[in-house]
Structure 1
Amino acid sequence: MALSEFDRALIEATQAGLPLVARPYEALGALLGVAGERVRERLAEMQAEGLIRRIGAVPHHYRLGWTANGMSVWDVDDAQVDALGERVGALAGVSHCYRRPRRLPLWPYNLFAMLHGRSRAEVEREARAVAELLGPACRGHDILYSSAVLKKTGLRLQAGARGAVLSGS
């Protein structure tokens, strides 16, 4: 699907985040020469069309004091992993949860859940709650703690030799 000139300008204006002001759509509208309501409408349309996935806040866990972040990995019975993964993903201490293929014999884990805490003890308490929820369907787990904060970005429009291209990390 080809992007209109307005779509491209709107994406470029929002790809680093919405302005941190009381009325961000109006601020973007002023930048783009349209009403703030048009910005809100077009973003909603782009979301409905699948051009953008979501609009939401992305907290910086470390700045909020959540410095003991750990990716918990779980070896869960394949017949139950989808249903149990839904329940794990709904836990308050889990920011994201997803299924991944095992890489046997070295990597038996098929369920991943990111846990956050102010200390490793908090993360380990969260992991115990996950283990309790998984019950006998879980054959093993581990916690892989973050050792560095990496810059994460969504897709970005970039001007290239052959027009705009998407990139991301």
Structure 2
Amino acid sequence: MIDATDRRIIEALQGGLPLVPAPYAQVADDLGMPEATLLDRLATLKARGVIRRIAAAPNHYKLGMTSNGMTVWDVQDDLITELGAHIGALPFVTHCYERPRALPDWPYNLFAMVHGSSPDEVEDKRGQIAAILGSACRGSDILYSTRILKKTGLRLKAKG
């Protein structure tokens, strides 16, 4: 459970940090609390698992990354944790996770999102992933994005 102050903090941050030199100081000021209090409460919320992270969600298209593909892989189950960690650590992979297969139609269990300025760049990155997976990978595909979807996390509704 969260108290009223934690709720105010979450509501203030759920739309993103302000684009100012000291964003946490600005949010703390807006909430009428010291910055140290805000940071302590955020650390506690994270430690309790109430929030997972505070991160930027860039618009890849505006950054010139107009070719975006979800690479999907059929990886040996006994190696997926180890190999998934390697793939997720690649600087060009923005999301990497394991999902259950949906046999017989969908044999893929490892997903890795890759962005590039062209399809050739994305395919090159896909090749780098394939090299890491090696013989532990029995098949793969890539699903290219056709449009940008609204990207937001969970939103709390204002009480009232």
Q: Any conservation in 2 of the 1:72–1:142 contact (CA below 8 Å)? A: yes
* Contact 1:25–1:37 (CA under 8 A) maintained in structure 2: no
* Aligned-residue offset at 1:105: 1.1
Report matched runs for 1:47-62 at 5 Å.
47-62=46-61
**Contact (CA 8 Å) 2:24, 2:35: kept in 1 or not?**
yes
Question: Cα distance, 1:69 vs. partner?
Answer: 0.5
Higher relative contact order (CA 8 A, sep 6+): 2
Alignment deviations for residues 23-72 of structure 1 (CA, whole Å, 9 cap, x no partner): 11221122111112211221112111211111222222111111101000
Quote the Cα distance in structure 2 between the aligned partners of 1:113 and 1:105.
21
The whole-number CA distance in structure 1 between the counterparts of 2:24 and 2:80 is 41
Partner of 1:83: 82
Correspondence for 2:154: 155
Q: How many residues align?
A: 160
Code of the residue aligned with 1:81 in structure 2: it is: I
* Identical counterparts, % of pairs: 56
Unmatched tracts of structure 2, length 5 or more: none
Matched, 1:43 2:42: yes
**2:135 is aligned with what amino acid?**
P
1:109 is aligned to 108
C-alpha deviations, 1:94-148, integer Å up to 9, x for none? Answer: 1111111111111111111111110000000001111111111111111100011
Counterpart residue number, 1:10: 9
Q: TM-score, normalised by structure 2?
A: 0.94
Aligned residue for 2:139?
140
Alignment RMSD, CA only? 1.3
Give yes or no for contact 2:57–2:151 (8 Å, CA) kept in 1.
Answer: no
Stretch deviating more after TM superposition (9-18 or 52-61): 52-61
Letter in 2 for 1:157: L
Q: Distance in 2 between matches of 1:139 and 1:114?
A: 19
Unaligned runs of 5+ in 1: 165-169
